[in-house]
Amino acid sequence: MALTRASFGLIHALNPKRTTLNFKLSMATSTRALASYIVEPAELAKALEASPPLASPDTPRVIPISAEWYLPNDSRKGIEEFGKLRISTARFFDLDAIKDHDSPYPHMLPTGETFSRAMSELGVAREDTVVLYDSPQLGIFSAPRAAWTFRVFGHPRVHLLNNFKVWVEQGFPVEKGPVGQAARTQYPVTEPDLSLVSSFEKMREIAEEGGREGVQILDARPQGRFLGSDPEPRPGGFSLAVNYGDTLLLHSGYDCELVDPVTKKLRSGEELGRILLSKGVDPSGEVEKRLMCGTGVTAAVIDSALQLAGFGGKREIYDGSWTEWALRVDEKSGLISKKQI
């Protein structure tokens, strides 16, 4: 029989040491009930009902975390939108703050110390199950990047909600207004798993070879930005990357191919599989996928889509993505063609 909080109170009086251990083990099991990386709203709601209160960081919990973020040319701000509407008990993951502040590029991965400090301030413990989500307007956009960051730093239980828009429409608990300070935890400092990350040096090697057999590069930007016909959302010139080989475009922005335009959910695994195949993505485990976008944010949408579709092959996100490439590669190299918009 499952150990509930009601039965725990009675049994604990008879054998406090043993029941405390059993209760912690029981509740830890309940927080691992999310079976897959992609989580539906009803599934998260059920897990939250079974989760210990967030005021008890000594016991593993399920914690929803908003990572809503908007492009620089959008007047909305993630933290402000979070205050207007959020999942009850949610925390806020600020992509503009939890990053490498010494880097000239917008969203490079934070150091282990920075990530540890941010998680401690958010009241997240290493044993907690975290479920990342986006704004109800965008559905799936920046939360995959935050989820990927958790994975890079080896957080054991990380999930992506599909999605907050549907959560709201189905009437699950929400709240608004000022957010209280979470009880601080002591999140350990861990080293990043660089096998999930593509560096500038890795990408340059492939570009200098004119592409590499067994490696596909998937760019999440819209075609207009890739070709340089549409302006960048950030100040500065615009350019066209060349000599990566056969770079495949899989738009994963606001109205992308991988997300349903009405529900704003990631499409089903079957639908995603057809789209990926139509774009020339190799489903086999023998072909590596290097994913990029403007600053390394929406490339993680492709990462999630590949996982949901069951496509094999090692996946790496180019952390600096187009912004780093454009600033570090000279036109004389033949690896880039720049034009001002």
pLDDT tens-digit readout, 184-194: 999 999 999 99
- Active-site annotation holds for 293: yes
> Which tokens hold the place of 42?
């009803």
pLDDT given at position 72: 83
| pLDDT category of residue 21 using cuts at 50, 70 and 90 | very low
pLDDT given at position 35: 87
Q: What is the DSSP string of 299-311?
A: HHHHHHHHHHHT-
Please tell me which residue in 132, 146, 207, 293 is annotated as part of the active site.
293
pLDDT given at position 327: 87
Q: Which domains does the chain have, with CATH numbers?
A: 38-192 (3.40.250.10), 195-338 (3.40.250.10)
Answer for the pair 149, 115: CB distance below 8 angstroms, yes or no: yes
Place of tokens 């999440």: 220
Residue 130 has pLDDT above 60, yes or no: yes
> What are the Cα distances from residue 263, in Å, to 45, 138, 167, 252?
18, 10, 11, 15
Percentage of the chain modeled with pLDDT above 70: 79
Nearest in space to 168 (alpha carbons), one of 139, 197, 191:
139
pLDDT given at position 179: 87
Beta bridge partners of 329: none
pLDDT given at position 23: 35
Annotate 72-101 with b (16+ C-beta within 10 A) or e (fewer).
eeeeeebeebbeebbbebbbbbbbeebbee
